[in-house]
Chain A
Amino acid sequence: MAIEWFLVLSALLFTVGFTGVLVRRNPVVILLCLELMLSAGALALISFSRLHGDGDGQVFVLMVLVVAACEVVVGLGLVVAMFRRRIPLDVDAMKELKG
């Protein structure tokens, strides 16, 4: 398969994740959609790594994995804290965060 198929697929996956962040309100699902966007970025990095025959992109994907894991841990910690304090799990309900 030519490389551009993978690149367009990664753009499409990123777009789906982006739509999810915009239209969903549950913070857990929003975190899942962020994961979608990160994994789309990983697919693009691996495609470019294959395109140039250079392993640097693959190391970069491992770093993305680490950052994604950190984001999950902190984000889900926030969700658990919200649940404990009986704050409704709805990002639109957190109006005080508006600047």
Chain B
Amino acid sequence: MMARRLMHVLALLLALCSAPAMAHKPSDSYLTLKVSGQQVDGQWDIALRDLDMAIGLDADGNGELTWNEVRERHGAIAAYALARLKLAQPDGSACPLVIAAQMLDDHSDGAYAVLKLRARCPADVVTLDVDYTLLFDIDPQHKGLLRLEHGALTSTAIFAPDSAQQSLHVAGASRWRQFVDYVKHGVWHIWIGFDHILFLLSLLLPAVLVRRDGAWHGGAGLRPAVIDVLKIVTAFTLAHSITLSLATLGVLALPSRVVESTIAASVALAALNNIWPLFQRRRAVAAFGFGLIHGFGFASVLLDLGLPASSLLLSLVGFNAGVELGQLGIVALFLPLAFLARNTAFYRKAVLLGGSALILVIALVWLAERAFNLKILS
């Protein structure tokens, strides 16, 4: 008995010594909830390892968990998870959760079950009461990491056994903060929306040049170049602001496939115009015409972010301002460089013709992908 006791003593002692090396990842789940009016959409990532400990997934117990074994247990996983997450409104009325789909995802520490959640609350969500009790009975060191999204606003919360119930204010942030968030989204979306950038660049590339005798030459002064750029950018801005507003407010709607395909076509035409002049003198007009379609594209991003009814105008103005700021950034980068390089053959041949040809190819691929729903490049 004494010897056994002593062994225990030593085992614990060793455990103490190895503590510093124990920087391995503990159990966490990742919960995202996206609130929009009465609707709550979510995603919940729970480690397969934890689910196996809780309800057993590895049917044959060989330690190699296959997708079939996970799929077999989808019903049990759903029942287990849903019993441990409750959403409600402050008056106590529940927002019943359902699981729309189950998938997998790989995190840095292993594979996770992904539960796509959906809930509908009795009234528009202002405050959401979340009651989270996943795994706390098996592993009290488990934590639930929540990301709560509402429009462009994101807040986070951590659930642990001593903070299992939390009341989260959804519409709590200041209007200024909301505005700034939407401006940021606007800037970001023009920067990552390559089709818009390429369209704009295609129209701007010839701005520092003049076309004489069927060939390009460097333009004389900065003034005409600036005026040309100003005209194009203003026309594009005016046009996409109009349709962005109308589409966001629900006045106008176009099928997204038509919008996306036309955007691709507009990029192709703008690029082609630099190689084979189609509307050389009227690039501002083209910017306006196609700008109308690009506005629909921006609108779908904004609608995807979700718009709080209470601050619709604020978000719309913020997002649009962001798009314009992002666009100004591109112009501010482009114009000085292009102007300095305008008299070089490199600019006229490689940048204008070569660049336009490359843009044309990319745009045609986009067009094929979007119009025929193909996947050429991934």
- Tell me if chain B binds chain A: no
Which residues of B are in contact with A by a Cβ distance under 8 Å? none
